[in-house]
């Protein structure tokens, strides 16, 4: 398997769900209702700030209860991406109060789930359940959209959810999704130490691995260089944390390619002794990983031992 296919860029794998077309920050002139003509919601003053714990307490979403009492308030709590100048991109927990469109949503959400059919082929998509938190006198109910036979929200439910009008009434904690360096450089914040991982997984000898090509393939301009410093991820695997970026000049690229042409299979070279590494043209076919304080270089199906000339050409 090539390095480009083994490389796992960490950038957070968190799925951000924005308000799906909601008119955020727009208040409806009339109070929301529960969808029943006899159960209009009494006007309620919107508090200055509402916490996600109060608006959307942790619970497993369920189908709309049949015995739901008059709805007094309805909320949506979602993580929203925010650009923070000088810091990168943050995920902020935003609390939105539903101010319009609740009648249509409750009608759509009251429909039953479609039963699975044996002849239906479903994909592996992870569907957004479109959860809305309904408050009534008995408490808070996290309700989800009714689903199709493939567990996707039904079209009427999805349309009703998208049509909701909401207003932001609170914001919770935030966490960084992407550093400013990653935003500016287009380098992932986290990158698996593929040199070390490959050595642990491979049973073949270094010389055999190097025969995929006699030497690494020369790189072509432009060449992006993302540099990483060794850390350990949550599973204890060696991983790299982004600590620099550069784009090679013409002279630097010539020096790198000359050094790559001198790389040779080296059974004495360990791929686990370095603490820093560089990823050149990450994600492309000629993606190349260089141990900046070690001896190894990998590309496509092979890896080799490289002289100090390669590391010096990268400024290590």
Domain boundaries of the chain, sorted by first residue: 52-178, 186-313
Q: Among 156-170, 242-256, 300-314, which stretch is predicted with the lowest mean pLDDT?
A: 300-314
Contact (Cβ atoms closer than 8 angstroms) between residue 273 and residue 248: no
Q: What is the per-residue DSSP string for 42-83?
A: PP-PPPS---HHHHS-S---BSPPTT-----EEEEEEEEEEE
User: How large is the average pLDDT for residues 85-106?
Assistant: 95
Q: How far apart, in whole angstroms, are the C-alpha atoms of residue 132 and residue 108?
A: 13
Q: How far apart, in whole angstroms, are the C-alpha atoms of residue 112 and residue 300?
A: 51
Q: Which two tokens stand for residue 164?
A: 């909701």
Measured in whole angstroms, how far is the alpha carbon of residue 300 from the centre of its chain?
26
Query: H or E element: which one contains 107?
Result: helix 102-109
Tokens 């309700």 -> residue:
143
Its sign, for the CA torsion 65, 29, 154, 128, is: negative
Q: How far apart, in whole angstroms, are the C-alpha atoms of residue 186 and residue 178?
A: 10
pLDDT at 213: 60
| Mean pLDDT of the residues in the chain | 82
The yes-or-no verdict on residue 162 having pLDDT over 60 is yes
User: How large is the average pLDDT for residues 77-103?
Assistant: 94
Residues β-bridged to residue 176? 90
User: How large is the average pLDDT for residues 241-253?
Assistant: 95
User: How large is the average pLDDT for residues 223-246?
Assistant: 86
């Amino acid at each position: 398997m090539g390095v480009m296919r083994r490389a796992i860029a960490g950038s957070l794998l968190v799925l951000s769900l924005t308000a799906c077309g909601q008119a955020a920050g727009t208040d409806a002139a009339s109070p929301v209702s529960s969808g029943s003509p006899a159960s209009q919601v009494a006007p309620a003053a919107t508090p200055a700030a509402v916490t996600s714990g109060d608006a959307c307490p942790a619970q497993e979403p369920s189908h709309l209860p049949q015995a739901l009492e008059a709805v007094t308030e309805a909320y949506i709590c979602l993580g929203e991406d925010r650009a923070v100048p000088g810091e990168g991109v943050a995920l902020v927990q935003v609390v939105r109060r539903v101010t319009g469109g609740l009648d249509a949503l409750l009608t759509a959400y009251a429909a039953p789930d479609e039963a699975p059919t044996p002849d239906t082929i479903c994909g592996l998509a992870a569907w957004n359940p479109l959860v809305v938190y309904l408050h009534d006198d008995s408490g808070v109910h996290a309700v989800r959209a009714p689903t199709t036979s493939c567990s996707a929200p039904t079209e009427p439910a999805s349309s009703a959810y998208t049509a909701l009008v909401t207003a932001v009434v609170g914001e919770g904690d935030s966490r960084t999704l992407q550093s400013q360096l990653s935003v500016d450089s287009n380098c992932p914040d986290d990158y698996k130490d593929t040199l070390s991982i490959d050595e642990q997984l491979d049973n073949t000898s270094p010389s055999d691995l190097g025969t995929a090509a006699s030497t690494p393939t020369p790189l072509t301009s432009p060449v992006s260089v993302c540099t990483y410093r060794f850390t350990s991820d949550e599973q204890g695997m060696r991983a790299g944390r982004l600590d620099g970026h550069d784009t090679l000049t013409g002279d630097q690229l010539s020096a790198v390619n000359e050094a790559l042409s001198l790389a040779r299979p080296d059974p004495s070279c360990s791929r686990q002794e370095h603490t820093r590494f560089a990823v050149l043209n990450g994600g492309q076919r000629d993606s190349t990983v260089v141990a900046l304080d070690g001896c190894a270089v990998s590309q496509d199906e092979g890896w080799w031992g490289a002289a100090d000339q390669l590391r010096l050409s990268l400024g290590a």
